[in-house]
Amino acid sequence: MQSAGLHHVTAIAADPQRNVDCHAGVLGLRLVKRTINFDDPGTYHLYYGDQPGSPGTLVTFFPWPGARRGRLGAGETAATAYRIPRGSGGWWRSRLVAHGVALTEAASRFGAPVLAFADPDGMRFELIEDPGSDGVRPWSGAGVPEEHAIRGFHSVSLASLRPDRTRQVLVDLLGFTPAGEEGGRQRLVAGEAGLGAIVDLVETSGTRGEPGAGSVHHVAFRARDAAHQLEFQKALAEHGLRVTEVADRCYFQSIYFREPGGVLFEIATDPPGMTLDEPLERLGEALRLPPWFESMRPGLERALPELRVPAGAGS
């Protein structure tokens, strides 16, 4: 069993427009899909990523207007890290400060410079200088030039309630390999440590986190295709983990399970991808609905707030 690493990270936000302004505007990611939460169709589900919305670059949000702020703690994702080109840290520091983003940390981790900050809902992000690009097609918009643009995921940091059990799931069932320890942090790597291939397990005080705006809902890992996903599903069940049936998310198929450390994991297929229902050049421009909700379009379009993509960001 071997996952190639992260497929996407899904989090909770409180205001959809503010979310777009930050992630498509300040961070310069492409809004590759505006659809609805398939389990709560009165709410947006917004996807941001590289130019085609590749697995390993996607951060997605359920923006529930007025959602209360979550509390970071054990059993949650402590930080989501993006890769930026080597030498781009200074440029990003200046941009974030110019947009009023408070920097919470600037340090080095496993030899790589790290710039840490939070989005408007308090979700913790990091920018980590990484020389690899692994075929990512960066999106340059909203004043972010291609030479500094985000290159997909670097890693996630998990604050597990039971780190040894979380480590066991990642190694024995998802195919990650231990890659060292530093400052109370255990690093695990998938494959050749390319795009989104790193998971760090971090020490925590043990206080349980509370979900809400700014917290990560789940972390999704990659399966090559539906057959590969079913292999994972079988292995997870055989190891006593409660795993769901396959859910159709249109742009990928999903199974979910909560690992013993408290974090909700998903395994998502790489295909069919973001261009399933709109061409590459038009990604994210219009509201897309799954076929089973298409009859509800008039009511949903009236209920969902209008979104404005920041000037220069495109879509």
**pLDDT score for 204:** 82
23 located within any domain: yes
68 located within any domain: yes
15: Cβ contacts below 8 Å, ≥ 6 apart: 63, 65, 120
Q: What is the pLDDT of residues 90-135, one digit of tens each?
A: 999 999 999 999 998 668 899 999 999 999 999 999 999 998 766 7
**pLDDT score for 50:** 96
Nearest to 273 by CA among 294, 292, 293, 249: 249
Q: Residues 128-147: what's their mean pLDDT?
A: 86
Which CATH number fits the domain that encloses residue 215?
Answer: 3.10.180.10
Q: Residues 203-207: what's their mean pLDDT?
A: 79
Q: Residues 11-26: what's their mean pLDDT?
A: 97
1 located within any domain: no
Structure tokens at 251: 């742009």
**pLDDT score for 194:** 83
Range of the domain at 106: 6-303
Query: What is the rounded distance in angstroms from the CA atom of residue 166 to the CA atom of residue 180?
Result: 16
Judge whether 222 and 252 are in contact, CB under 8 Å: no
Query: What is the rounded distance in angstroms from the CA atom of residue 86 to the CA atom of residue 68?
Result: 37
Task: Give the chain's domain count.
Answer: 1
What does the mean pLDDT of the chain come to? 94
**Confidence class for position 314, pLDDT limits 50, 70, 90:** low
Judge whether 186 and 55 are in contact, CB under 8 Å: no
Query: What is the rounded distance in angstroms from the CA atom of residue 23 to the CA atom of residue 25?
Result: 6
**pLDDT score for 312:** 65
314 located within any domain: no
311 located within any domain: no
315 located within any domain: no
**pLDDT score for 183:** 86
**pLDDT score for 28:** 96
Q: What is the pLDDT of residues 50-98, one digit of tens each?
A: 999 999 999 999 999 999 999 988 999 999 999 999 999 999 999 999 9
38 located within any domain: yes
Which sign does the torsion angle of CA 155, 159, 163, 168 carry? negative
**Confidence class for position 207, pLDDT limits 50, 70, 90:** confident
**pLDDT score for 315:** 57
27 located within any domain: yes
Percent above pLDDT 70 for the chain: 97
**pLDDT score for 140:** 87
